[in-house]
Structure 1
Amino acid sequence: MPALSVLRRTVPTVALAATAALTVGAAGSSAFAAAPTAASTRVAAANTCPTWTVMKNGVNFRTGPSTAYRSIGYLYKWDYGTKVAGRGSWVKLRLNERSKSGLKKGTTAWVHKKFVDQCVYMQY
């Protein structure tokens, strides 16, 4: 029972502190406006993960960054590679392992960005 009474005493204190912070924040305190939070810094950071994963089946893997270039084979869902270049809405990938269609590990070619997703680093 003593733990319950401690909880009852701390809950109103926490609620009061949160209300005070919201009131001060709403008033436009320069202390709150000037100090960026760590979370806002992380959100603003660019995604630098080099791995891109194919999210569709039968995607052409091309010799150049447009449909005017010939396809050297197909990529299927969950094939992936490391980005080595980019041009507009195209990404040049080097396959990290043998593709599902049989393209060798290390094969380099172009794929349209609408068929691939860039990985995202986990944040702790």
Structure 2
Amino acid sequence: MRRISRVSLVSLTLTTAALIGGTAVVAAPAQAAAKVCNADNAMIYTDGTRLRAKASTSSAVKGQLYFKDPIRITGKSGGWDRVVLKAKSRGGLPKGTTGWVAHKNIIPPYCGGL
């Protein structure tokens, strides 16, 4: 007995649906849908973003971060994210520096999907 691959079966289902004018609904394989959101994939959204010692606009500024500086989100408090720099920032802060950034200045991690 000949075995039909998943790709062939999906192609056959879509072709058949197109020929008879119907709509085919094909479920994605389970392993493709099980992507894990990783807080490591975040980055800074705006130039001159202040990295603060605490989650407050009145807190001391440790330095500035710039667009695409890579960060890891390690915590949250209100509208603030606690971050660790994954590399030396364009503003000169060393890799591993920690602090707080207003959430609006962060490009959140991409977790897959549409």
What is the aligned partner in structure 1 of residue 3 from structure 2? none
Q: Name stretches of at least 5 consecutive residues in structure 2 with no aligned partner.
A: 1-14
1:48 matched to 2:63? The reply is no
**1:119 offset after TM fit, Å?**
2.2
Q: Name stretches of at least 5 consecutive residues in structure 1 with no aligned partner.
A: 1-10, 23-31
What is the aligned partner in structure 1 of residue 108 from structure 2? 118
TM-score by length of 1: 0.63
2:18 to 1, 7, 14: 14
**1:68 offset after TM fit, Å?**
1.6
Report which structure shows greater RCO (CA 8 Å, sep ≥6).
2
**1:81 offset after TM fit, Å?**
1.0
Determine what percentage of the aligned residue pairs are the same residue. 24
Counterpart CA distance in 2 for 1:85 and 1:78 is 19
1:69 to 46, 59, 63: 59
Structure with more helix by fraction: 1
**Paired residues, number:** 96
Counterpart CA distance in 1 for 2:79 and 2:50 is 14
Distance 1:12 1:100, change over 3 A: closer
